[in-house]
Amino acid sequence: MANDALGQIQAFRTRVTKLNANGVPSNGADKSYVSNALVTLSTSPVYVDGEDFQEKNGEGVVCVNFQGPSTFRRIDWTLTICTPDAYLMEMLTGGTVLSDGDAVGYAYPATGVLNPTNISIEVWTKRVNSAGNLDDDLPYAWWVLPRCKDMRSGSKEFGNNSIKPQISGQATENLNWFDGPTNDWPVSSDRVLQYMPCVLANVPDASTAYVTVAAS
């Protein structure tokens, strides 16, 4: 396939999956969750500037001038969802899903050392052509953050407003995400963030409960 470089709009689906300690998607019940409640996922690459060496001689002329190489460390991200969702909050930050009959709520993690289970985050966007339509062959783009850690909940404002939960975290490379929780990611997934064009069959349906992940 040629590089069509189509525009991308509207992140409309998100999947969060728990990882084993080695980075492999964890199989079994209650290991994944698919949501259509994403408002935004903001990603910010984190760099460390190389060390700068500069010396001047007695006349004030620079006689040593060297800039060391800079380093790409990770991606910091912030995810905002449009409504509180107990299952998604538990997947992202830990804590506990509360239930009483048909009522489902959520309790924050206990105070203390922050250590939520590492997760992967996948996001699907729409690919549009110059005519303003979805691409006929590959209408969607599938983005993957294969390992996310250090997740934490943002502040909430209770008042005459919509309560939109916000979660932030860090993303790093993961050599062991392989072909993902549904065994259909088609290429290498070992970078901190990557995407591939895809078809509708690669887009999961939004769920109202946890999703079981089959063994690879």
The model's pLDDT over 70-107, given as tens digits with 9 standing for 90+, comes to 999 999 999 999 999 999 999 999 999 999 999 999 99
Task: Spell out the domain ranges in the chain.
Answer: 7-48+64-205
**Mean pLDDT value across residues 201-209:** 94
What pLDDT is attached to residue 161? 93
Span 137-186, pLDDT tens digits: 999 999 999 999 999 999 998 999 999 999 999 999 999 999 999 999 99
CA angle at 86 for the pair 207 and 176, rounded to the nearest 5°: 65
Residue whose tokens read 């916000």? 166
189 in Cβ contact with 180 (< 8 Å):
yes
Burial (CB < 10 A; 0-12, 13-18, 19+), residue 177, is buried
Instruction: Answer yes or no: are the C-beta atoms of 15 and 207 closer than 8 Å.
Output: no
pTM: 0.93
* Tens of pLDDT, residues 8-43: 999 999 999 999 999 999 999 999 999 999 999 999
